[in-house]
Amino acid sequence: MGSANKVSVALLSDEDIPTCFQVVSKSFGHDAPFVDIYFPNHDTPSGQAQGSKRLLAWKQTDPSSTFLKAVTQAGPDGPEQIIGLAVWTLMKEAPEAELEKAENVEENWPDRDDREFMARLWREYVAPRSRIVEESGGKGVYVLELLAVHPDYQRLGAGAALVEWGTSAADELGLKSVVEGTPVARRLYEKCGFRVEIEEMRFDTGKEFAARRKPKLIFMTRAPES
């Protein structure tokens, strides 16, 4: 895309959710095992409908989470194009370690093995962020729960703009920020002030799931800047 494309960040509306979920699917493809199991069949019509429904429910029921979109326009009169999505959560209590307390597990993972695999991943996934939340002494932390930029619109600054929205909000409150990032996104997060705490998060899901792809995630934190 040309340099004329300018990126801005705004709150997304309920109506934006289906488009944003398509961005999530396109952004990760099948290169992110955690996204593949968390949003089953996310690149199919049924999977996108289900994923959009879950994002919408999350947006409508969790006031601590802020849903953002990155948009661009091809010229001053061109239509707005959604090219990125981020979800930032001000987390003052540790997340539920048991997936069934956080999600409608039977609806989201109708296959029993998928459900059990996801539950075991979740338990280990939330452990590092839970520790940081507990260490905050009740002040809380800003968690970047989801970041996606459409592959056709990368290198325009959308990812950085979405990340910096949350780090600026964290700085205003003097709070840490955390993210479980993919190796591909590591450089972006480091440019935005994040530092590695866990080089590769551990996911011990048991012998019965030994053949399944495990997430490759880096746990990163950012101290607030005054």
Q: Work out the angle at residue 177's Cα, subtended by the Cα atoms of residues 91 and 169, and round it to the nearest 5 degrees.
A: 85
Please provide the distance, in angstroms rounded to a whole number, between the alpha carbons at the two ends of the chain: 35
Count of the separate structural domains present in the chain? 1
CATH of the domain at 132: 3.40.630.30
What mean pLDDT is reported for the chain?
95
Residues 6+ apart with CB under 8 A from 33: 212, 213, 214, 215, 216
Q: Is residue 129 part of a domain?
A: yes
Q: Is residue 1 part of a domain?
A: no
4 band by pLDDT with thresholds 50, 70 and 90: low
pLDDT digits 0-9 by tens, 93-126: 999 999 999 999 999 999 999 999 999 999 999 9
Find the domain containing 159 and state its range.
6-222
Over 70: is that where the pLDDT of 1 sits?
A: no
Rounded to two decimals, the pTM is: 0.94
In three state form, how does the secondary structure of 171-184 look?
Answer: HHHCCCEEEEECHH
Q: Is residue 149 part of a domain?
A: yes
- pLDDT of res. 115: 97
84 band by pLDDT with thresholds 50, 70 and 90: very high
What is the side-by-side strand order in the sheet with 195-198? 6-11, 65-73, 80-91, 141-149, 177-181, 218-222, 195-198
Q: Supply 62's token pair.
A: 């969790």
H or E segment and range at residue 108: helix 105-108
Q: In one letter, which amino acid is 148?
A: A
